[in-house]
């Protein structure tokens, strides 16, 4: 049997758009295998990271993301370095210098910050540093991977399915649209006027879509959820915009 060559991933994972459909399929298959081993009570620790160091730089607070990243790094055979949040905003030293120094010591940087441009700047400055986006104001690709895994686990072949997202057209909605369309799942986005998913996000999602998947925007949530296979919702006040909750 001919051996299938491994998928060549991009250096960084800042967006679902850094993946292609083959990348996404491979990641979900690996996740299913590891989850099955965990459920079967077999050891989940693997030498995949081979003792490499991975730094976590979380400017935004986190419980689930930080905990699961740290556990995953250890189970994959790596070592975790927790960095102070102050190094993410460029006030103490330029973030380009942070990245150039870190790439001498660690293999990867998991960053949770505000602007997508900060994560992109670190990735560009650290030519050998793998930067992973654990959340920015614009995108949340790791969350979308978990959502894609759930859809694949529940439905198998996802092509032709439809989901509805009820909420702000935020970072979660953006990455969900990218991932869902890449799986062949159409998305109904319903948001209040002024909080819709941007045109560019929809164009990008449909550019990578499989099986004719598309994104439609709605204002009436009842119309959006009619006939879909699943409904996804999120908090109405996004992280960092808590002041809008009383507006």
Q: What are phi and psi of 28, to 5 degrees?
A: -70, -35
Does residue 180 fall inside a structural domain? yes
Does residue 246 fall inside a structural domain? no
Domain boundary among 133, 156, 174: 133
Show the tokens assigned to 101: 């120094």
Q: How far is CA 175 from CA 3, 38, 89, 182, in A?
A: 32, 27, 23, 11
Residue from 109, 241, 116 nearest 175 by CA: 116
Residues 147 and 228 in one domain: yes
Pair 166, 221: CB distance under 8 Å: yes
Domain boundary among 82, 114, 133: 133
Given strand 53-58, what is the order of strands in its sheet?
Answer: 79-83, 53-58, 108-112, 130-133
Q: Domain count of the chain? A: 2
Q: What are phi and psi of 55, to 5 degrees?
A: -95, 140
* Separation between Cα atoms, residue 247 and residue 232, nearest integer Å: 24
Does residue 105 fall inside a structural domain? yes
Does residue 200 fall inside a structural domain? yes
Does residue 52 fall inside a structural domain? yes
* Cβ neighbours around 207 below 10 Å, total: 11
CATH assignment of the domain containing 74: 3.40.50.1370
Residues 127 and 158 in one domain: no
Residues 124 and 56 in one domain: yes
Given this model, what pLDDT does residue 39 score?
87
Model confidence pLDDT, tens digit, residues 121-133:
999 999 999 999 9
Residues 123 and 150 in one domain: no
Does residue 78 fall inside a structural domain? yes
Model confidence pLDDT, tens digit, residues 7-43:
567 899 999 999 999 999 999 998 898 888 888 888 6
Pair 183, 210: CB distance under 8 Å: yes
Could you tell me the residue range of the domain that residue 210 belongs to? Answer: 141-233
* Separation between Cα atoms, residue 21 and residue 130, nearest integer Å: 20
Residues 154 and 126 in one domain: no
Residues 6+ apart with CB under 8 A from 28: 145, 148, 149, 152
Model confidence pLDDT, tens digit, residues 140-163:
999 999 999 999 999 999 999 999
Does residue 36 fall inside a structural domain? no
Indicate yes or no: pTM above 0.85: yes
Show the tokens assigned to 40: 């079967």
C-alpha Rg value of the chain to the nearest Å: 19
Domain boundary among 85, 109, 133: 133
Given this model, what pLDDT does residue 111 score?
98
List the chain residues with pLDDT less than 70.
Answer: 1-8, 43-45, 236-247
Does residue 23 fall inside a structural domain? no
Pair 165, 233: CB distance under 8 Å: yes
């Amino acid at each position: 049997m001919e051996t299938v060559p491994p998928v060549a991933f991009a250096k960084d994972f800042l967006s679902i758009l850094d993946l292609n459909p083959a990348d996404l399929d491979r990641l979900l298959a690996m996740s299913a295998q590891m989850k099955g081993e965990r459920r079967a009570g077999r050891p989940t620790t693997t030498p995949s990271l081979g003792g490499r160091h991975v730094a976590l730089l979380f400017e935004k607070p986190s419980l689930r993301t930080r905990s699961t990243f740290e556990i995953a790094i250890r189970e994959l055979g790596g070592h975790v370095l927790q960095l102070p949040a102050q190094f993410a905003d460029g006030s103490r030293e330029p973030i380009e210098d942070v990245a150039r120094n870190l790439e001498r010591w660690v293999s990867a940087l998991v960053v949770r910050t505000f602007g997508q441009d900060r994560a992109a700047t670190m990735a560009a400055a650290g030519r050998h540093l793998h930067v992973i986006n654990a959340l920015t104001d614009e995108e949340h690709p790791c969350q979308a991977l978990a959502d894609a895994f759930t859809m694949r686990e529940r439905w198998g072949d996802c092509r032709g399915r439809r989901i509805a997202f009820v909420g702000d057209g935020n970072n979660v909605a953006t990455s969900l649209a990218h991932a869902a369309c890449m799986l062949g799942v159409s998305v109904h986005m319903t948001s209040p006027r002024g909080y819709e998913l941007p045109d560019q996000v929809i164009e990008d999602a449909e550019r990578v879509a499989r099986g004719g998947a598309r994104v439609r925007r709605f204002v009436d949530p009842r119309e959006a959820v009619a006939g879909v296979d699943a409904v996804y919702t999120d908090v109405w006040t996004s992280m960092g915009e808590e002041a809008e909750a009383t507006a």
